[in-house]
Amino acid sequence: MKDVVNLSKLALPEPLNLIGGEWVPARSGGEMDVVSPIDGEVFARIADSDAADVDAAVQAARAAFEGGAWSELTAAERGRLMIRLSERILEHAEDLAQLETRDNGKPIAQARADMKVTARYFEYYGGAADKVHGEVIPFQKGYNVEVHREPHGVTGHIIPWNYPAQMFGRSVAPAIAMGNAAVLKPAEDACLTALAIGRMATDLGFPPGAINIVTGRGARAGQALADHPGIDFISFTGSPEVGQMIQQAAARNFIGCTLELGGKSPQIVFEDADLDAALPVLVNAVIQNGGQTCSAGTRVLVQRGIFDAVGARLAERFGEVEAEASDHDGATLGPLISAKQKKRVETYIAEADAPLMARGRIGEGAPDGGFYVAPAVFGPCDPKARIAQEEVFGPVVCMIPFEDEAEAIAIANGTEYGLVAAVWTRDGGRQQRVAKAMRCGQVFINGYGAGGGVELPFGGIRKSGHGREKGFAALLEFSTIKTIVNNHG
């Protein structure tokens, strides 16, 4: 086991869960290794939790919500604590970023950006905690009708490994802002920054049970959380397969859920687009985080008259990209998260049912044990090709030609997913028409924003899931309405 993380101020998280304000080992004593994708080496350990740990965490959250110190705080006090946590995250941003890169493999520049976004979630939702108001509804004479927004109670949060710290902020911050008590099951492949931020929260005096963190395997700890009859709402980000099981478990418990399940997001480039502005964005929307981003812009639809020219430029740029160790400045593409994910992506590339236009490289210095994949551009792709339909979750992009606006819209909407889309054109009317025609949750015009955008409601339709995170919309998801009808005569 080697300690390569610069932990000047931050201790490497221990194999402990956060339950009711205490840091405790798994009840069974189970632990598991944490591997760094950069070199495949074990560098830390986490608790390998089961249903008993999840049950204890849910009970602790219940106690916090019903009569515990957490329930005693005013909305303003909750918000103030969250803003202090935001500041603490920023104070330790460099150490957290180093830890994130070691744990997840993402380029250090990306990890640094992630920490700013994570802090911003706690700042944004901390600031909003006391600004969600109810309503008074005009009703029959002699009545006063009030609509109150109330927390659900105990909220479950299951998050993936692609943006561990950001996902913690995105999912948990709006929930606790509304006064819920949260139980988080982060992903076994990368959860150390969530534990480190949890440690900051306990140090800052968050009341016991407000935030609980239970680490371990999805099929055991995650399933136990989804199935637990003591949770009142569940928020899930991950694969459609597991998302479907989460929704079934939620149905059995008669509770609501939000699902954020990824996508196959289109970027539509018309002949009149500003290509110099578009090209770097098109590349980054796939390379960012090794393509392991739910909103990665992995289908590039290009109008036929400029298809060859755009294809050549995109191929040239991708061909220059090198996958390399990501813990130094300047790295743009690091390893993928795990050997399993590398195999999945390489299988998609090897079996792709479209011509390969360009392939990047694995850098010579990339450690042998790491999970590196050279990026790939495919095209011209049939829009119905498997490689153009399924989420690969790696540095793989499909180029698809189209004739006109109608065909572009049909192709863009022609997958089972619907998360994000972009339209690149200088024609104002077309910008509006295409944006309105997109069947998805977020549309960019002459830009693209994978990640970040804390203020902007985000989420999908169909196989991309349902419910909205980010922005004020998330506060509404993490609360319910009570209507009080008073017949005052």
Q: Which residues bind Mg ion (CB under 5 A)?
A: 103, 189-190
Residue 294 bears catalytic tag: yes
Using alpha carbons, select from 162, 405, 215 the residue that is nearest to residue 304: 405
What's the closest the beta carbon of residue 367 comes to ligand NAP, in angstroms? 22
What's the closest the beta carbon of residue 1 comes to Mg ion, in angstroms? 13
For residue 226, the partner it binds in ligand NAP, Mg ion, none, with Cβ less than 5 to 8 A by kind, is ligand NAP
What's the closest the beta carbon of residue 98 comes to ligand NAP, in angstroms? 22
How crowded is residue 451: how many other Cβ atoms within 10 Å of its Cβ?
21
Cα dihedral 281, 283, 289, 290, rounded to 10, equals 170
Token output for 333: 């593409």
Options 222, 290, 370, 471; binder of ligand NAP; rule CB under 6 A: 222
* Whole-Å CA distances, 445 to 1, 276, 421, 434: 47, 15, 9, 9
Q: Does 180 bind ligand NAP (CB under 6 A)?
A: no
* Whole-Å CA distances, 413 to 269, 410, 435: 15, 5, 11
Residues ≥6 apart with Cβ < 8 Å to 141: none
Options 68, 238, 290, 291; binder of ligand NAP; rule CB under 6 A: 238
What does the alpha-carbon distance between residue 18 and residue 188 come to, in Å, rounded to a whole number?
15
How crowded is residue 286: how many other Cβ atoms within 10 Å of its Cβ?
30
- Beta carbon nearer to ligand NAP, 315 or 396: 396
Options 226, 273, 399, 412; binder of ligand NAP; rule CB under 6 A: 226
- Beta carbon nearer to Mg ion, 46 or 259: 46
How crowded is residue 137: how many other Cβ atoms within 10 Å of its Cβ?
12
Question: Could you tell me if 198 and 208 are in contact, meaning their C-beta atoms sit under 8 angstroms apart?
Answer: no
Which position among 294, 381, 398, 440 bears the catalytic label?
Answer: 294
What's the closest the beta carbon of residue 383 comes to Mg ion, in angstroms? 35
Query: What is the CA 199 to chain-centroid distance, rounded?
Result: 21
Token output for 223: 């399933």
For residue 238, the partner it binds in ligand NAP, Mg ion, none, with Cβ less than 5 to 8 A by kind, is ligand NAP
For residue 459, the partner it binds in Mg ion, ligand NAP, none, with Cβ less than 5 to 8 A by kind, is none
What does the alpha-carbon distance between residue 145 and residue 139 come to, in Å, rounded to a whole number?
7
For residue 217, the partner it binds in Mg ion, ligand NAP, none, with Cβ less than 5 to 8 A by kind, is ligand NAP
Q: Which of residues 334-373 bind ligand NAP (CB under 6 A)?
A: 341, 344
Structure letter (DSSP) for residue 27: T
Instruction: Using DSSP bridges, classify how beta strands 420-424 and 266-269 pair: parallel, antiparallel or unpaired.
Output: parallel
Phi, psi (degrees; rounded to nearest 5) at 89: -60, -45
Token output for 484: 């009080």
Q: Does 262 bind ligand NAP (CB under 6 A)?
A: yes
What's the closest the beta carbon of residue 217 comes to ligand NAP, in angstroms? 5
What does the alpha-carbon distance between residue 153 and residue 51 come to, in Å, rounded to a whole number?
20
Q: Does 217 bind ligand NAP (CB under 6 A)?
A: yes
For residue 123, the partner it binds in ligand NAP, Mg ion, none, with Cβ less than 5 to 8 A by kind, is none
- Beta carbon nearer to Mg ion, 190 or 434: 190
Q: Does 261 bind ligand NAP (CB under 6 A)?
A: yes
Q: Does 242 bind ligand NAP (CB under 6 A)?
A: yes
Q: Does 467 bind ligand NAP (CB under 6 A)?
A: no
Using alpha carbons, select from 264, 290, 339 the residue that is nearest to residue 107: 290
Phi, psi (degrees; rounded to nearest 5) at 290: 65, 25
For residue 393, the partner it binds in ligand NAP, Mg ion, none, with Cβ less than 5 to 8 A by kind, is ligand NAP
For residue 103, the partner it binds in ligand NAP, Mg ion, none, with Cβ less than 5 to 8 A by kind, is Mg ion
What does the alpha-carbon distance between residue 152 and residue 66 come to, in Å, rounded to a whole number?
12
What's the closest the beta carbon of residue 293 comes to ligand NAP, in angstroms? 7
Q: Residue type for 70, please? A: W
User: 203's torsion region: left (phi>0), alpha (psi -120 to 50) or beta?
Assistant: alpha
**Residue of this chain nearest to ligand NAP (CB atom):** 218
Of the candidate spans 1-9, 70-78, 258-266, 427-435, the one that interacts with ligand NAP by CB under 6 A turns out to be 258-266
Span between the terminal Cα atoms of the chain, in Å: 73
Instruction: Report the half-sphere exposure of 383 (CA within 13 A, side-chain side).
Output: 19
What does the alpha-carbon distance between residue 287 and residue 296 come to, in Å, rounded to a whole number?
8
Options 90, 132, 145, 245; binder of ligand NAP; rule CB under 6 A: 245
For residue 158, the partner it binds in Mg ion, ligand NAP, none, with Cβ less than 5 to 8 A by kind, is ligand NAP
Of the candidate spans 28-36, 153-161, 204-212, 398-406, the one that interacts with ligand NAP by CB under 6 A turns out to be 153-161
Which position among 31, 100, 188, 260 bears the catalytic label?
Answer: 260
Q: Which of residues 156-175 bind ligand NAP (CB under 6 A)?
A: 158-162
Q: Residue type for 209, please? A: G
What's the closest the beta carbon of residue 36 comes to ligand NAP, in angstroms? 16
Residue 381 bears catalytic tag: no
Options 43, 393, 417, 458; binder of ligand NAP; rule CB under 6 A: 393
ω before 380 within 30° of 0 (cis)? yes
Q: Which residues are catalytic?
A: 260, 294
Residues contributing to the site for ligand NAP (CB under 6 A): 158-162, 185, 187-189, 217-219, 222-223, 226, 237-239, 242, 245, 260-262, 294, 341, 344, 391, 393
